[in-house]
Chains A and B, each alone.
Chain A
Amino acid sequence: MATINKNAVRQIVTVLSNKRVGAYHQILLSVGDIVKSCRPGNFVAISVGGAGSRMILRRAFAISRTSDNSQYGGTMELIVAPHGSGSSWLCAQPEGTEIDILAPLGTAFGIPTQPINALLIGGGYGSAPLFGLADVLKSRGCKVDMLLGASVGSKIYAPMEGKRSVNSLKIYTEDGSMGETGRVTESLLDIVKDRNIDVIYSCGPMAMLRAITEIVSVTEVIHQCAVEESMACGIGICMTCVLPIEKEDGTTYMARSCIDGPVMDGAVVRWDLVGKVPDLL
């Protein structure tokens, strides 16, 4: 915790591009040197609504990927679903708009020092940060397989260039409009066994993260998941985004998703107690 957010800075940045991709917006920000401290799994908190807005809280978005190139300098890509008033505002901002961001925030996915077999699982726009993660894992010599799921095909986010950074990609939709019909958890245990998976990295709805944790609990697989809880501050001071986490001594405490997460070990989350209050001791 002492080191969390030590690189976080608040900065006014420019929207370089804003494109619609299926049900989402792909927003590219010019953020300069911030990219140097961003790691896959980190998130950004953005002020929405402009000056005088009645929306007083920042909105948190997973950082999809970053790059540092000669033409634009440091850039940060976000995949945003225009759900509520804040994300809709962000999706409506044209190229050239200046926005107020705070980044990078939160924990990052743990990157193995040895080449391993990694399985990346994304639900809906939860796949966004997994492509940046795949690049890093590939560069470390890991084998990277990916499963993506959504209710309908238009909610699958799988960019062409992203597909190049994975060894295999399997898509599931609940209505069968793209890939196989069903959910990412459909034959998960078989996939884990057949491909000798060492680590699962996941991002998506809480029900999906819980299901993955339960399925792999009978295996030795490590499950690193990026959780999503509604948060007011994103920096650990409001205590609204808490999740029940089991400590080694068997007791449970309410950890903050923003600062003890978003990336957490799925096995220590007390999924059965989310939205409840655990008994003390």
Chain B
Amino acid sequence: MTMPVDMSTTLGNAWFPNPLFTASGCASSGRELAQFFPLKEIGAVVTKSVMSKPRHGRPTPRMAETPSGMLNSIGLQGPGIDAFLAHDVPWLLEQKSRVIVSIAGETIEEYATLARKLRSASGISAVEVNISCPNVENRGLVFACDPDASRRVIDGVRKTIGGDLPIIAKLSPDVTDLPAIAKGVVDAGADALALINTVLGMVINVDTMRPHLGGKTGGLSGPAIKPIAVRAIYQVHAALPKVPILGMGGVASGKDALELILAGASGISVGTASFGNPHAIIEVRDQLQQLLAARGFTTLSQAVGYAHRSEEVM
């Protein structure tokens, strides 16, 4: 008989009863997964990144399965912030779900506009600022690949949103010096970091002999990218040990989640695994609790970054 593990966690000043979250873009606004488990059972629903206007996204084909992973090329299809705040957030709150709203913009001003709209929305736990969606027309617009642009987006959101709503900056692993970009956004006002967004990839169809995806390139997700996530979280936690990290990238089991937590994540988003198994988040949560207990941890927070501890003397 092992002691129950205190699974609660915090991101900035937001408290969550357990560290399992959906990943933005992998759960829409929660309604579909609610057919499979009560949304209040998980830490929070991180909604699909929403922009200021409705958007169709990219042409099909939008996905390609790859070894232990998949490419997606959705291109931020969504209803726009007004419809989202009017319909989706109230519904989530009715379910007693905690909500992290993910926003995405094409310009620094669009992020600030989105932040202004969120300011008047009550009941949300945090805002994820997605500055790393790979499926935009112009790679130059991936803010998270540019330290200065990243800082300016977060600075604009911080100044506009006011108050104390935690800001989680979602970063891309497709950069040379991730800790430097992380440090920049934290200095600009981010309370936490979401690591990692998908990795840019491509599949070529050998029959048509052209790129398979309608958008040509796509974001690689799934178990194939887990080692990249572990490395990114480990590097950033080493550089910024006090900044909470919402870790994600290929988590499909409690063991995967524990690996990211040991690297430095305080919360875990499950994304692509929900495509193959709608109960994945709940299963990961339960397996993680057992693994923590089996290793003698009484709280989740004791395990966060445990892989960084100094070498033990024999």
Which residue of chain A is the closest to B35 with respect to CB atoms? A5
Within 8 A of B (CB), among A221-248: 229-233, 235-243
**Contact A236 B28, CB 8 Å, known A102-B278, A242-B62, A254-B77:** yes
How close is B56's CB to chain A, nearest CB, in angstroms?
A: 5
Does A240 lie within 8 Å of B274, measured CB to CB? no
Does B63 lie within 8 Å of A238, measured CB to CB? yes
**Considering only CB atoms and an 8 Å cut-off, how many residues of chain B contact the other chain?**
41
The answer, yes or no, to whether A218 is at the interface (CB within 8 Å) is no
The answer, yes or no, to whether A55 is at the interface (CB within 8 Å) is yes
Which residue of chain A is the closest to B223 with respect to CB atoms? A56
Which residue of chain B is the closest to A85 with respect to CB atoms? B65
The answer, yes or no, to whether A277 is at the interface (CB within 8 Å) is yes
Instruction: Please report the C-alpha to C-alpha distance between residue A241 and residue B60 in the assembled complex, in whole angstroms.
Output: 7
Which residue of chain A is the closest to B273 with respect to CB atoms? A56
Does A277 lie within 8 Å of B62, measured CB to CB? no
* Contact with A237, one of B33, B67, B77, B223 (Cβ below 8 angstroms): B33
Could you tell me the dominant secondary structure of chain B's interface residues? Answer: loop
Does B279 lie within 8 Å of A277, measured CB to CB? no
Instruction: Please report the C-alpha to C-alpha distance between residue A235 and residue B55 in the assembled complex, in whole angstroms.
Output: 21
Q: List the B side residues contacting A254 at CB < 8 Å.
A: 56-57, 77
- Which of B11-19, B68-76, B140-148, B181-189 contacts the other chain? B68-76
How close is A276's CB to chain B, nearest CB, in angstroms?
A: 5
Within 8 A of A (CB), among B269-290: 272-279
* Contact with A58, one of B27, B48, B252, B276 (Cβ below 8 angstroms): B276
Which residue of chain A is the closest to B91 with respect to CB atoms? A2
The answer, yes or no, to whether B61 is at the interface (CB within 8 Å) is yes
Instruction: Please report the C-alpha to C-alpha distance between residue A232 and residue B272 in the assembled complex, in whole angstroms.
Output: 9
Does A239 lie within 8 Å of B32, measured CB to CB? no
Q: List the A side residues contacting B35 at CB < 8 Å.
A: 4-6, 8, 235
Does B26 lie within 8 Å of A237, measured CB to CB? yes
Does A233 lie within 8 Å of B275, measured CB to CB? yes
The answer, yes or no, to whether A207 is at the interface (CB within 8 Å) is no
The answer, yes or no, to whether B31 is at the interface (CB within 8 Å) is yes
Does A56 lie within 8 Å of B54, measured CB to CB? no
Does A233 lie within 8 Å of B279, measured CB to CB? no
The answer, yes or no, to whether A111 is at the interface (CB within 8 Å) is no
Does A1 lie within 8 Å of B31, measured CB to CB? yes
The answer, yes or no, to whether B214 is at the interface (CB within 8 Å) is yes
The answer, yes or no, to whether B222 is at the interface (CB within 8 Å) is yes
The answer, yes or no, to whether B216 is at the interface (CB within 8 Å) is no
Does B275 lie within 8 Å of A237, measured CB to CB? yes
Does B278 lie within 8 Å of A235, measured CB to CB? yes
**Contact A274 B60, CB 8 Å, known A8-B35, A54-B68:** yes
The answer, yes or no, to whether B38 is at the interface (CB within 8 Å) is no
Does B72 lie within 8 Å of A10, measured CB to CB? no
Which residue of chain B is the closest to A2 with respect to CB atoms? B31
Instruction: Please report the C-alpha to C-alpha distance between residue A47 and residue B278 in the assembled complex, in whole angstroms.
Output: 12
The answer, yes or no, to whether B58 is at the interface (CB within 8 Å) is yes
Q: Mark A96-107, 1 if CB is under 8 A from B, else 0.
A: 000000100000
The answer, yes or no, to whether A278 is at the interface (CB within 8 Å) is yes
Q: What are 15 sample pairs from A and B whose C-beta atoms fall under 8 A apart? A: A4-B35, A54-B67, A54-B68, A56-B69, A102-B278, A239-B62, A240-B62, A240-B74, A242-B77, A243-B60, A252-B56, A259-B32, A275-B60, A277-B57, A280-B54
Given pairs A10-B279, A239-B74, A252-B56, 11 additional interface contacts (CB within 8 A): A2-B31, A4-B35, A5-B32, A6-B35, A57-B70, A57-B276, A102-B278, A242-B57, A242-B60, A254-B77, A275-B59
